[in-house]
Structure formats: C-alpha cells, structure tokens
Amino acid sequence: MPPYLLGLRFDGRRVVVIGGGRVAQRRVPTLLAAGADVLLIAPEATPMLDDLAARGEITWERRAYRPGDCAGAWLVQAATDDGEVNAAVAAEAEGQGTWCVRADDAELSPAWTPASGRVGETTVGVLAGGDPRHAAGLRDVVVAGLRDGTIEARHSRRRPVGVALVGGGPGDPGLITVRGRQLLAQADVVVTDRLAPRELLDELSADVEIIDASKIPYGRSVTQERINAVLVEQAKAGRFVVRLKGGDPFVFGRGAEEVLHCAREGIPVTVVPGITSAIAVPAAVGIPVTHRGVSQEFHVVSAHVAPGDPASTVDWEGLGRAQGTLVLLMAVERMGVIADTLMRYGRSPDTPVAVIQDGTLQTQRALMATLATVVDEMTAIGVRPPAIVVVGDVVQVARQIDMLNADLGRTP
C-alpha cells in the first residue's frame, strides 16, 4: 500500500531519538527546525549533536536505550546501529500508539522519513518506496527547480504583491541570488535594464510582460522618473512587478530612489541584494580587492562625473594619497583625466591598473597596464562600457595567479 504523507507541526512537542550517529545527526536539525523538543538517548554522539546539547538545543541522556524511554513522545526515531534495539524501540512505540521510524529497516518501519527540502514557505517531501537515495535525488531536482524558477511558481494563493527590487548580479545569469530567481519566476511584469542578466528573460513565461528600461550611455535612454512611474502604475493595477537591475540595486543603481517613490505611493517593496560588479568583476579575472600585506582597504567610486567637475563629490586628492585599492565604475570615458588626477595627488605612474570589460560574460576581456599607460592601451584595443577599472597593487596578485596557473600541467 502507498504511504500517506502528513506534515507534522511539532511546536514544542516531544520527539525521542534513540542513537547518536550519522542518521541522528541528519535528522535532529530538521526536527529542531520544525519546532520539536528533542530528547536524544545514546551513550555517544557525534560532535555536532554534542554541541547542540551543550547549547541547550536538545536534551541528551548519555546512556543506552531503556524500556519506557518512548513515553510522552509524539514521534520516535530508532537510529542505533543495533537491529534488536531498534526493533525493541519500535515495539514500545507501537504499544503506546506512537509513530516510529526505524533507520535500519524500511520494510519493518511503520513510518518513513521523507527526503525533504524547503524553499521559502514551500516544503517538499519525497518518498520512493523506502529507497532513501532515490528519494533524495528526486527531492534535489524539485528543490533546485523551485529555487531557480524552472518549476512554475506563479499561481499561488500567497503570491507576492507590489514591487521586488532585484539585483541581478554582474551579468552572468548564474550569479543572481536564489531569492532573486524565485521572485523573477513569480513576476507578472519585469522592468529590466541593459546591465541585468538578459538570458534570464528567455526563461520567463510567455504571458510575462517585459518592459525595457535601459539607460544607454550617450544613446537611447528611459528617464528615472518614467521608470518610477511604470513601477507604480503596474503595481497599482494588481500585478506583481520585478525591477531587475544589474549588480546590486543599492550600489550606484538608484535603487533607493525607486524604493522611496514606491513607498510614497503606498506600494510595498521587497529588496533583494545582488552581487555587485565592483567586487565580482575583479574577482572574475583573479583580482582580490583586498589582500593581506598588500591592501587593507578598497574604495568604490562612481566616475560618471569627472574630477574637477563642480558636481563631483569624490575626494580625488584623498584617493591619490591613499594606498588602498580603487575600483572605478563608469570611468571609461573619463579615464584620462582620472589617471592624471591620481598621479598629480600622489599615486605613482607605475601603479598597476586593470580594466575588465563585460565582466563575467562570454565577451569578457581584460587588460593590465599602469596609470601612465592605461589610457593609450584602452584606446588601442577599443575598450567600451561597461567596464570596471581597478587601480592598485592587488592587480599584481592576479598576475601571480595567472603565472601559477600557466605552470599547472607543465613537465618539471
């Protein structure tokens, strides 16, 4: 007969676990997450279970099983490595009308523990005829589908409302967060920009409306005021709106402006941070923005306003004197005046510089230069936005990594 699946809500109710080995180590955290009051009975236990007992999260009686240990339990887990002990535990539980799971023998166990996983408010449980490995494999597929949005999740009585401001990461669609992908899969409308991971749009359902809100440097552009208005208009029409942005929406992404506008209009907003390109793009070519003994600080600068411009709020003199790493965004068109300014205020002309165009994408390319040569080298290969510029000795770390990688596989 097929088993009957039931979701138990323990909420402080007693669960007795007999045995302190690997099976118990897997099951106890899940029981705790469900709110169970766990009593562990075992002469010995794994270090993790020992730590849970030391922190007071479970009660551990350091002894072997004795008749009567199942009293008062809502559920019993017989998880010793002794079949006779497990049989005795199951018999006691059966005698008092308590469900018991035997870890050693699925056929003799009156109840089975499903392979389970949780994504947001959804809990998945899979049974596969007593085959735990098969069940776990199926569970993994379903959970992964819910996390990345490949399993349809839009039709729910508890669907999201309002606007979700989602950071899409530096460009590679695999670098969006799990939460961001979940919300994207539930969207009725997606308002996207040119730096958002474009490949994800092709995975959306056919009835999802995609609104292009790109701001192309020196080209076609949608004003921020219009973007704000679209978010409110769509949300007030009862549609769940995902504002998909590149990088992190609060790092030079004008995300806070959109949140404030929605809040003033009474629209709830969920903010999902993204992986900022300021850190991810240098990492993609092996450049750490900090490195022990090289740089203890890094500064992320929006260079859309040139040094010396009255609208600039950047302390370029201080950055010239500093020894830490500089990460420059939107600097391609102004790199000449930026390099001259940094050298004038104290940075050496020999300071290493890296320029990474289309970071994390298949079209990614990088050049290594110095402050004195970077402009000529950028011009020579035709660097265009979007590109990240890294100034500082950490660039040399990437060179060391490249040399070591080049030596891999060589015959000594």
Q: In this predicted structure, what is the pLDDT of residue 5?
A: 86
Q: Note if the bond before 110 is cis, omega within 30 degrees.
A: no
The single residue of 50, 82, 140, 215 carrying the catalytic annotation is 215
DSSP code of 298?
E
User: From CA 250, how far away is CA 272, in angstroms rounded?
Assistant: 10
Q: Which residues pair with 117 in a beta bridge?
A: 124
Q: Select which of 193, 245, 248, 358 is catalytic.
A: 193
Collapsed DSSP state (helix, strand, coil) of residue 276 = coil
Q: What is the pLDDT of residues 172-227, one digit of tens each?
A: 998 999 889 889 988 999 999 888 888 888 878 888 899 988 765 555 578 889 99
Spell out a b/e string for 242-271, using b for 16 or more CB atoms within 10 Å of the CB, else e: bbbbbbbbbbbbebeebbebbeeeebebbb
Residue 217: predicted pLDDT: 55
Concerning whether 236 is annotated as a catalytic residue, the answer is no
Q: Give me the residues of the chain with pLDDT under 70, please.
A: 148-158, 215-220, 409-412
Q: Identify the bridge partners of residue 247 per DSSP, sorted by sequence position.
A: 169
The predicted structure's pLDDT at residue 156: 60
**Three-state helix/strand/coil letters over 190-249:** EEECCCCCHHHHHHCCCCCEEEECCECCCCCECCHHHHHHHHHHHHHCCCCEEEEECECC
pLDDT of residue 26: 86
Q: What is the pLDDT of residues 30-67, one digit of tens each?
A: 899 889 999 999 999 999 999 999 999 999 999 999 99
Euclidean distance between CA atoms 331 and 328, whole angstroms: 6
Query: Is the four-CA dihedral 123, 129, 130, 133 of positive or negative sign?
Result: negative
Q: Which amino acid is at 184?
A: L
pLDDT of residue 147: 74
Q: Is 193 a catalytic residue?
A: yes
Contacting residues for 154 by C-beta, under 8 A, at least 6 apart: 185, 186, 187, 188, 205
